[in-house]
Amino acid sequence: MMGLLLLGAQFLFLLPDGLQFGGRAATLAGIAGLVLLRLASVFLGSRRTDKLLANFLLLALSTLLALAACELALRFAFRDVTTTVDFQSYFTTQWRKGVHLNDLGFRDGDIPGAKPDHTYRIVVIGDSFTYGQGVETSVRFTDRLEAELNNPACTGVQYDVINLGRPGAETEDHLRILRDIALTLEPDFILLQWYENDVEGDDKSGRPRPMGLLPSAYLIKRLREHSVLFYLLQSRWTALQSSLGWMEPYQDYMRRRFEDPLSPASQAATRALESFLAVAGARDIPMGVILFPDPGGQRDLEFLHRRVLDQCHGAGITCVDLEAQFAAVEDKQTLWASRLDHHPGAVAHRMATDLLLEAFAATWREVCAGAEPGPSPAGAPAVISAARAGAGISQ
């Protein structure tokens, strides 16, 4: 009968990705069961122990089979989902297995040691939006830009758009990537992709921490990676804690830290972006910034968005802002990577590509006319015309 219990413990982890963890869990359950069985036989006698064991096995197997049925039903119901906002959920974990990373650890092709001749190189630094969580590489705005710029190609010029997006990267990380990696790639243009939570910084000690469904952080992590049912239950449990006031909502935490522009956290975020712009400027490398608002339509942290726009304007940096385009979309889910993931999907990446080409194509195409790669022509207005400003481009 103990063998049946061990077999039943496997049913919660029916797909191959969960078999290893399921096997460990079943082994631990078996060891614990044998210990309890031995203790029960000593204190209760063999007959009562057998009866209790039979009832326990029936209950355990019924529960495990019910959980397995729920798991399979949910995997079928959410079969269209590629990823979730949670980078370690079952869906995202499965999706990441098909992601190729190059020698530098980025989701892009291998980069030659030296930039080939007659190559105009655009290096894009960003977070999971640039990385392209939940979408194929061909859908990302970086890959779309490269395809658009090379079709039709300039005579004798090849455009190379390098994606240095990293999930979870923030402005401080962007600065490190710029210094340690991007500048070594001989870029002709640097593009920074920014999102409102990029200001948070390395110190996350005050970030709200939800209570888990289980007392073990290890079990929570493993079950979240291998079970749709557990991931959905944990997500609902976290949302419930926030709605009941048991946990500070993330948006409130961010406002508490950053709403005052003179707070230490705000000043640190401002300095990090200033440093990024200064490092690129010191090398006389043309650059721009693209701002993604929340694809889900939340505007609680819009003040951070406005702050970066002002910072770009003060530095004379062209900033492409997708806020107007996203706001005009009535069904926000059409912008998402999947119905459980607010990361930009194909539609959002297409919008970003179009606005970037509108803002920078003239600069990038200068090399086609035989001019040296460089910044926008002198005398460009500090404020773009109303028509272009409405398209989400400011300078």
What is the mean predicted confidence (pLDDT) over 91-100? 95
Share of the chain above pLDDT 70, in %: 79
pLDDT of 43 reads 56
Of 389 and 302, more confident: 302
pLDDT of 18 reads 45
For 208-225, how does the pLDDT look when each residue is reduced to its tens digit (9 = 90+)?
A: 999 999 988 899 999 999
Main-chain dihedrals φ then ψ at residue 304, nearest 5 degrees: -70, -40
CA atoms of 203 and 213, how far apart (whole Å): 26
Q: Which domains does the chain have, with CATH numbers?
A: 2-77 (no CATH), 94-203+250-394 (3.40.50.1110), 209-243 (no CATH)
What is the mean predicted confidence (pLDDT) over 184-203? 95
For 5-58, how does the pLDDT look when each residue is reduced to its tens digit (9 = 90+)?
A: 444 444 444 444 444 444 555 566 556 655 555 555 555 556 666 666 677 778
Whole-Å CA distances, 56 to 61, 214, 321: 8, 22, 60
Q: What are the helix (H) ranges across the chain?
A: 2-10, 16-44, 46-77, 90-96, 128-131, 141-149, 171-180, 217-226, 228-243, 250-258, 264-282, 302-315, 323-327, 346-365, 386-390
Q: Tell me the HSE value of 117 on the side-chain side, using a 13 A CA sphere.
A: 1
What is the mean predicted confidence (pLDDT) over 231-252? 94
CB atoms within 10 A of CB 54: 11
263 Cβ contact partners less than 8 Å away, ≥ 6 residues apart: 257
Joined tokens for residue 189: 């243009």
Most distant CA atoms of the chain, gap in Å: 94
State the pTM of this model: 0.83
pLDDT at position 375 over 50? no
For 101-113, how does the pLDDT look when each residue is reduced to its tens digit (9 = 90+)?
A: 999 999 999 998 8
Name the CA radius of gyration of the chain, rounded.
26
Give me the DSSP letters along 95-115. HHTT----TTSSSS----SSP
